[in-house]
Amino acid sequence: MTTGTLITVAPTGAESAKAEVPALPVTLDELLLTAKECEALGAAVIHVHIRDDEARPTLDQGRLRETVAALRESTDLIVQLSSGGAVTDPEADRLAVLDAAPDMASCTMGTVNFGDDVFLNRWEFIVELHTRMQERGVVPEYEIFDLGHLTALQRLLGRYGLPHGGHVHVDFVMGVPGGMPGTTETLVAARQMLRDLPEGTTFSATGIGRSTIPVLLASLSTGGHLRVGMEDTVTYAKGRPVESNMQLVARAVGFAQLAQRPPLTTAEARELLGL
Ligand code: KMH
Ligand code: ZN
């Protein structure tokens, strides 16, 4: 059944440098402003990476807690912390993200080449993340960078059970150099593989860089949801840098409305995700 569209904003990420992308929100004030603007436009979930005083990616526990509290105070957005961090972050710090007690956290379902780097996600680490989230009542969003990650998810759920809340939601992160391409054909193949996952599993999709629009259109037309934001897209159109996350959320909302699948409210999103 086709529903409205869950819109997630991923405003910052860990990859872009503030010096190269001045519009990137890196301070708490910048993040809160972006969050409020994007919520007003129709975003329901915020996928959060934070930065330190030098705008470098960090998983500092104090800052994470402060960020979760501030987002809850200023918005009704569902707060999803990244447990992926940056490719250089140690596993212990990535697991400790859950100590900041977000509503949701990402859980990447396998290792993937990541440009010139490797985004390492060992099986034992994934199991630890999944079971800790079950214990603490944090709802996962399973990040799928390649088709085999869906097979790993099937294995994970078969061995360790459903996530907290019982609903399975995955996010196809497409077009990473080293992962699955951001094409309609690949999205359709990934969607087909969802039939091996629990009934009712939902998916979002995001295409990195120039795959942003093809993936957005393919996701909407196949009943999927959307993730957009400057974590994934820093060029709005050829020769036009993204000016703010609002611009990307507004474009996603426009496409969702054209598809007659308007944005879900935060309350509807909570219900969909089993929060
Ligand atoms: N920054 C990437 C290495 C996640 O947030 O869980 C990992 C990432 C995935 O962004
Ligand atoms: Zn992320």
The pLDDT tens digits of the residues spanning 222-274 come to 999 999 999 999 999 999 999 999 999 999 999 999 999 999 999 999 999 99
Q: How many domains in the chain?
A: 1
User: Considering only CA atoms, which residue is closest to atom 7 of ligand 1?
Assistant: 84
The pLDDT of residue 128: 98
Average model confidence (pLDDT) across the chain: 98
Looking at the domain assignment, is residue 248 inside a domain? yes
Measure 175 CA to ligand 1 centroid, in angstroms. Answer: 13
CATH number of 145's domain: 3.20.20.70
The residue range of the domain holding 205 is 7-273
Looking at the domain assignment, is residue 141 inside a domain? yes
Looking at the domain assignment, is residue 168 inside a domain? yes
Looking at the domain assignment, is residue 41 inside a domain? yes
Measure 173 CA to ligand 1 centroid, in angstroms. Answer: 10
Mutation probe of ligand 1 site: the residue of 50, 83, 98, 143 with most atoms within 8 A of C-beta? 143
| Interval 185-208 mean pLDDT | 98
Q: Strands 57-58 and 50-51: what pairing?
A: antiparallel
- Full 3-state SS string of 24-58: CCCCHHHHHHHHHHHHHHCCCEEEECEECCCCCEE
Measure 8 CA to ligand 2 centroid, in angstroms. Answer: 11
Which residue ranges have their beta carbon within 6 Å of ligand 1?
13-15, 82-84, 86-87, 106, 108, 114, 119, 143
**In the chain, % of residues over pLDDT 70:** 99
Looking at the domain assignment, is residue 2 inside a domain? no
pLDDT digits (tens, 9 = 90+) for 83-105: 999 999 999 999 999 999 999 99
Q: CA separation (Å) from 60 to 52, 76, 140? A: 8, 23, 20
Looking at the domain assignment, is residue 1 inside a domain? no
Ion ligand 2 neighbours, Cβ < 5 Å: 82
**In the chain, % of residues over pLDDT 90:** 99
Distance between CA atoms of 76 and 79, rounded to whole angstroms?
A: 9
Measure 260 CA to ligand 1 centroid, in angstroms. Answer: 31
Looking at the domain assignment, is residue 198 inside a domain? yes
Please determine, for residue 15, whether its predicted confidence score (pLDDT) is greater than 70: yes
Please determine, for residue 1, whether its predicted confidence score (pLDDT) is greater than 60: no
Q: Which ligand is nearest the CA of 11, by number?
A: 2
Query: What's at 213, amino acid-wise?
Result: I
**Rounded to two decimals, what is the model's pTM?**
0.98
Looking at the domain assignment, is residue 202 inside a domain? yes
The pLDDT of residue 2: 62
Measure 17 CA to ligand 2 centroid, in angstroms. Answer: 15
The pLDDT of residue 131: 98
Please determine, for residue 50, whether its predicted confidence score (pLDDT) is greater than 90: yes
Please determine, for residue 60, whether its predicted confidence score (pLDDT) is greater than 90: yes
Helices (H) and strands (E) in the chain, counts: 9, 14
